[in-house]
Structure 1
Amino acid sequence: MNQTGLPARRTAHYLLMEITGEGRLMAELIAGGALARLETDDRARAQRLATDALRGLDRADRMLKPYLKKTPPDHVMNALRLGVIELCGGEAAHGVVNAYVEIVARNKRTQAMKGLTNAVLRKIAAEGPEGWNKRAIPLTPGWLRQPLVAAWGRDAVEGMEAAHFAGAPLDLSAKGNAEAVAKALDGNLLSTGSVRLQNAGQVSTLRGYAEGDWWVQDAAAAIPVKLLGDVKGLRVLDLCAAPGGKAMQLAALGADVTAVDISEKRMERIAENLTRVGLTAACVVSDAFAFDQTGFDAILLDAPCSATGTIRRHPDLPYAKDGSEFGALIDQQEAMIDHALTLLKPGGRLVFCTCSLLPDEGEVQVEEALARHPDLRTEADALRINGIDADWITDEGGLRLRPDYWPDIGGMDGFYMAVLRKPA
């Protein structure tokens, strides 16, 4: 790792600028090569620093506010935020302050504010971790927090924010014996069958990775497939299949799987993962609406959505988005449900799911699908699987999962899912 830490810090600053200023997602930036020029250790450090800053951004801003007469330009503000995260994380003040003063000074438009940067960060250093820890849990940006409070109430949203701030452990789905995987990795076997690791480290170096014994998949994301029960020998369509965890689950259970995704690059990744774990599926690159094979026994539709349920793992989401695209996503989900039903054989089952915390992308979608298709039925009994609290089953017959559930063991992603039975 570079001894000054400056390359990693500059890259973390660039990531923050692009996410908070340009609305770009972290994954998009990394895929585009934002970390490519860094040494391996610096890549990890830059990504971790930017992620920590996003996770604690509201708290960092509250720490900075008493020392700022007015909000400085974004270039300076993001340098200060990163400085707060490092100083309150126990990094030595001298190196941190000098690095962010240099980052501010390198920009011609803000170089006159290097003195301000130095003074403010010195004051933050005096507060240190003690000042950080006495601040409240960071709040979700208002554009998202307001509809969440309206849907779930203030107490529930505060629980979600605590889960988002804490981040997420690493969950795995086992190809075979989950108990054996948990034992081999010194992890915990969750009640739903996923394996949870609290301090995993580098995924590709973990025991069983090269052998294909498991794949990474949040415990909540692994539940939709479980709702189908025994799928051995059934023709099952995984529509919008990326990143591929559900296709691998289905294949491991003995289903005849067809995985469809619009992205050729994402489908290549799915195929690579299937090969690594020694499983097979028919991989089709296609727009979901253009795919017209019919007669499937079951379909799993993990529809494109706001992804607001994944903030504990992707804290950039509420800063890169503003909700303006949600209306189009909701319309697309509705159309996808209707199209998927045409691909099911009579009596077949459709599992509709979204990794969203917004009822318009979950409960409301199913209510409206039932209204459009009077013979369609939800199967609430299918939701009663190991690890599922009966209180999580909703009035229309779906399953609502939230980040504030399982608070003592690391939470879960926010998800909605329902099993819809097509009339025979």
Structure 2
Amino acid sequence: MVVTPPRRGHSGNPQHKAGDENVAGLAARKAAARLLAAVIDARTALDGLTDNEHGHPQYKALDGRDRALVRAILVTALRHRMTIAGLLSKRLEKPLPANATALSHILNVAAAQILFLDVPDSAAVDLAVTHAKSDPRALRFSGLVNGVLRSLARAKETELAPALAATSEAPQWFSERLTAAYGADKARAILAAHRHEAPVDFTVKADPVIWAERLGGIVLPTGTVRVEKLAANVIDLPGFADGAWWVQDAAASLPARLFGDIRGQRVADLCAAPGGKTAQLILAGGEVTAIDASKNRLARLGQNLERLGLAAELVQADLLDYRPAQLFDAVLLDAPCSSTGTVRRHPDVPWTKTMADVEKLADLQRRLLAHAVGLVRPGGRIVFSNCSLDPIEGEELYRDFLARSPGVVADPVRLGEFAGIDPFLTPEGTLRTTPADMDLGSPGVSGLDGFFAARMRRVG
């Protein structure tokens, strides 16, 4: 079915009736479309929009069940944005007008439900039509909404699988960067992994085999406990109240291990919140100082450590202004980055970031790393890491920094030095993970966040 957008000034449908605001489920769909607009049009991070305390007013006005539905719609619409766009476009005789962004978001919200979520097609279509009729910007397109979505619902059984096979779910800039960095085959594997919800990983204080059994998961070669899907909220799981574990992606748990034996050493965790790496360093025997610029994030870190029964010195400071009274034996800098390695968990990232953001963040990382080196004593170790997939923030930055820093030398990680890490080591002795790594036979339990980590030593 091909539908032609109506001419301006002609809706082709009766005006919406009073009382539409009370239609069951309409408020959730309106919130989903509004938040999708904030992500796509204003490049606003999804986590902030859906924060239960500080999120978007339309989101906070919903009850818990509708909030969960809105988040599911948004994550799905972003994760499969290119496939959805292609199937919608196929049903239009000509593209939507450039100023019809509200209509586009209404269609995408409905299509995500029709194609990927357990929502009756009729409900998704009817609510989208009602939504369009209630929005002056989309009113004249309500007939188009009805026709396009009903056509999509009829054809999904035959068209969805071929569309998924032929589509990469990424904006052009992101797809091009992945291909340049990893080659076409690995880039396709990474993008394929992004279509799947990430499993939940737990770093446990001790006895990973026991906790894997209790939590219904498996133990990864790195020692992380992995659960494909949680049977309850995290706070209701066994071991939470006792502080036996914390949620931390398997890749995120690797950088702190690269220091080796730090028992009795003074260790700084820079940009430390939310504190997973801080907890690792404490458990490894370090005397840890956790530094973060955000008062709220540092408070949350303190609460996390309290639950775990762990203690560290907490310092609120802008890292570039921070000067300790005594230099540290080791410094971990998990630097602010583009977060392109976390797309499985945050599918908004490719749509809210640009190449200019990547380059700007890489420049910040260089300055932070240069300052971090000055916080460690001569002979001490520095571990630099971030959750970006882009070499500009990882491998290239690392090589350039070493070339320009005579007081710092590479301290390569050796094969066999740490359990489970060898598959992720580069010839330079740095660490690189991607969502396409650690294939365990099923997308639901495979993969890791994209991470880069490098170990260096100060010599002067």
What TM-score do you get using the length of structure 1 for normalisation? 0.95
What is the aligned partner in structure 2 of residue 357 from structure 1?
389
Provide the aligned C-alpha RMSD in A: 1.7
Q: Secondary structure at the match of 2:72?
A: helix
Q: Distance in 1 between matches of 2:289 and 2:413?
A: 26
1:279 matches 2:319? no
Q: Which moved more, 1:316-325 or 1:18-27?
A: 316-325
Which stretch shows the higher mean deviation, 53-62 or 35-44? 35-44
Which residue is 2:161 aligned to? 133
1:358-384 deviations in Å (ceiling 9; x for gaps)? 111111111112112235222223564
- Normalised TM-score (structure 2): 0.88
| Superimposed CA distance per residue, residues 216-264 of structure 1 (whole angstroms, 9 cap, x where no aligned partner) | 1110000001111222221110001122110111112221111111111
Say how many residue pairs are matched.
422
Gaps of 5+ in 1: none
Equivalents in 1 of 2:270, 2:361: separation in Å? 16
2:103 is the alignment partner of 1:76: yes
For the Cα contact (< 8 Å) 1:236–1:298, is it kept in 2? yes
2:188 aligned with 1:168 = no
Corresponding residue of 1:411: 447
| Aligned residue number for residue 143 of structure 2 | 115
Larger-gyration structure (1/2): 2
Extract unaligned runs of 5+ from structure 2. 1-21
Aligned residue runs from structure 1 range 14-413, under 5 A = 14-31=34-51, 32-34=54-56, 35-68=59-92, 69-72=94-97, 73-89=100-116, 90-135=118-163, 136=165, 137-200=167-230, 201-293=232-324, 294-382=326-414, 384-390=417-423, 392-407=424-439, 408=441, 409-413=445-449
Aligned with 2:261: secondary structure? coil
Is the deviation greater in 267-276 or in 196-205?
196-205
What SS does the aligned partner of 2:229 have? coil
**Stretches of 4+ aligned residues off by more than 6 angstroms:** none
CA shift for structure 1 position 33: 2.3
Q: For 1:372 and 1:353, locate their aligned partners in 2 and report how far apart those are by CA, in whole Å.
A: 18
Q: Give the match for residue 8 of structure 2.
A: none
Q: Offset of 1:8 from its aligned partner? A: 2.2
Contact 1:237 / 1:258 at 8 angstroms: preserved in 2? yes
CA displacement at 1:129 relative to structure 2: 4.4
Q: Aligned with 1:298: secondary structure? A: strand
State the alpha-carbon separation in 1 of the partners of residues 140 and 67 from structure 2.
Answer: 30
Indicate conservation of the 8 Å contact 2:331/2:381, yes or no: yes
Q: CA deviation at 1:134?
A: 2.6
How far apart are the structure 1 equivalents of 2:223 and 2:26? 43
Structure 1 stretch 155-164 or stretch 377-386: which is displaced more? Answer: 377-386
Separation of aligned partners in 1, 2:127 and 2:328? 58
Separation (CA, whole Å) in 1 of partners of 2:430 and 2:245: 28
Going from structure 1 to structure 2, the CA distance change for 1:297 and 1:129 (only over 3 Å counts) comes to farther
Separation in 1 of the partners of 2:352 and 2:389? 17
The aligned amino acid for 1:160 is I
3-state SS of the aligned residue for 1:121?
helix
Tell me how far apart the structure 1 counterparts of residues 407 and 320 of structure 2 sit (CA, whole Å). 23
Where 2:364 maps in the other structure, the secondary structure is helix
